[in-house]
Amino acid sequence: MAEQTYLHDVRELYERFPYPSPSPAIDPVLDTALGLDLACEDLDGAEILDAGCGTGHRLVGLALTFPDSRFVGIDFSARSLAVAAELVEKHGCHNVTLRHRAIGAEPLGHRFDAIISTGVLHHLPDPPAGVTWLAGHLHPDGVLYAWLYHAYGEFHRMLDRRLVRLLAGSTGDGEQLIQDLELAFSTSRYGTRSSRAGDSDIADPAATADAYLNPLVAAYDFETAGTLLGRDFAWAVATGVNWPGGAGTVDVADWTGAGYGAISAAQLFPQPHPRAAFLALPPRDQLRCLELALRPTGFSVVCGADPALSRCTDRIRQGAARANLVATGGDR
């Protein structure tokens, strides 16, 4: 019953504040397409599900980047999907189909080569059940690419959100409270331009509502993400991290920063002594240091069964071999 109430409230929020933008005039967002391209080898001809595609700004970014792949976008917010339909039409994306469906409801009756789900799992009433539902829609060699809030960088925002929701419980006006508490939300919080062309540091109503009014939010560190994904997948790799004003890719096999957007040991630890100590650690502990030092606001993770590694770039294969999030745990 509580689960149904949460589902209803989350859907209502996105009906009121379609994310990332109610406007099809806003440019497609390319961060997910870039992240997927850096994680997967060859997606030509692939069938890809965007689970919780919202207003489709990232879905259209994907469809334009991978014109030879076919995309299905699902969301339970009809208003968000209406924006997505306009955006798909505007950009002439013949490789996109939209369906009004809920994650966790009736299966779609189709399996995919890849599933994208950015900013969605942490709003589900039962995230592990949502992961299982998604895993059931993948071919055996299919990959899931998800983006999650990171618990360390989001700690204070989560407290502010709780405060707003508590106060709003008596006044009923969360938007006014956000203004009064001066909690305007910067779209550069996750290091990437969110939705609006040209300006990167503005208070965006959809992002602000998503940040402070969402009835249901979880946040993960690398270890708890491994637990979340480990029931259904053999391996999971932290592929990218976001922090206010910045974003980078993770390569546990090479900390020189040589790869595209790769985070270097020198960036994490400018001082020689901590840097040498970091470089001497095993890869899993290096990942742990990375999240403790950077305190990311979000991160992307790629996961799958063993055959899915054949679809991935060498960086992801190295990550799965050396610092599999599913295999973490132990002496934390």
Ligand X SMILES: C[S@@+](CC[C@H](N)C(=O)[O-])C[C@H]1O[C@@H](n2cnc3c(N)ncnc32)[C@H](O)[C@@H]1O
* 120 sits near ligand X (criterion: CB under 6 A): yes
Task: State the nearest-atom distance from the C-beta of 81 to ligand X, in Å.
Answer: 9
* 324 sits near ligand X (criterion: CB under 6 A): no
40 near 32, Cβ under 8 Å? Answer: no
Gap between the Cα atoms of 118 and 115, Å rounded: 10
Residue from 104, 257, 274, 283 touching ligand X (CB under 6 A): that is 104
* 259 sits near ligand X (criterion: CB under 6 A): no
| Interface mask toward ligand X for 30-69; x: CB under 6 A | ----------------------xxx--xx-----------
Gap between the Cα atoms of 199 and 322, Å rounded: 39
Gap between the Cα atoms of 201 and 224, Å rounded: 30
* 202 sits near ligand X (criterion: CB under 6 A): no
Phi then psi dihedrals of residue 180, to 5 deg: -60, -35
* 207 sits near ligand X (criterion: CB under 6 A): no
Return the DSSP state at 139: E
Q: How far is CA 195 from CA 57, 222, 302, 325, in A?
A: 7, 26, 23, 30
80 near 55, Cβ under 8 Å? Answer: yes
Task: State the nearest-atom distance from the C-beta of 206 to ligand X, in Å.
Answer: 9
Task: State the nearest-atom distance from the C-beta of 290 to ligand X, in Å.
Answer: 23
Task: State the nearest-atom distance from the C-beta of 103 to ligand X, in Å.
Answer: 4
Q: How far is CA 219 from CA 15, 152, 216, 291, in A?
A: 23, 8, 10, 13
The tokens for 271 are: 């001082």
* 118 sits near ligand X (criterion: CB under 6 A): yes
* 20 sits near ligand X (criterion: CB under 6 A): yes
* 157 sits near ligand X (criterion: CB under 6 A): no
39 near 316, Cβ under 8 Å? Answer: yes
Task: State the nearest-atom distance from the C-beta of 105 to ligand X, in Å.
Answer: 7
Task: State the nearest-atom distance from the C-beta of 201 to ligand X, in Å.
Answer: 18
Amino acid at 217: V
56 near 243, Cβ under 8 Å? Answer: no
* 237 sits near ligand X (criterion: CB under 6 A): no
Exposure of 191 in the CB half-sphere (CA atoms within 13 A): 20
CA dihedral 23, 24, 28, 29 (to 10 degrees): 20
Looking up tokens 């996961």, which residue turns up?
303
Task: State the nearest-atom distance from the C-beta of 94 to ligand X, in Å.
Answer: 21
Provide the pairing of β-strand 298-304 with 138-149: antiparallel
Task: State the nearest-atom distance from the C-beta of 332 to ligand X, in Å.
Answer: 29
Task: State the nearest-atom distance from the C-beta of 102 to ligand X, in Å.
Answer: 4
**Considering beta carbons, is residue 95 or 118 the nearer one to ligand X?**
118
**Considering beta carbons, is residue 19 or 233 the nearer one to ligand X?**
19
The tokens for 122 are: 């942490």
Phi then psi dihedrals of residue 84, to 5 deg: -60, -40
With CB atoms as reference, the residue minimizing the distance to ligand X is 54
**Considering beta carbons, is residue 1 or 280 the nearer one to ligand X?**
1
Question: Using CB under 6 A, which of the segments 85-93, 120-128, 159-167, 242-250 binds ligand X?
Answer: 120-128
* 124 sits near ligand X (criterion: CB under 6 A): yes
**Considering beta carbons, is residue 129 or 184 the nearer one to ligand X?**
129
**Considering beta carbons, is residue 145 or 243 the nearer one to ligand X?**
145
Q: Could you list the residues that contact ligand X (CB under 6 A)?
A: 10, 14, 19-20, 52-54, 57-58, 75-77, 80, 102-104, 118-120, 123-124, 210
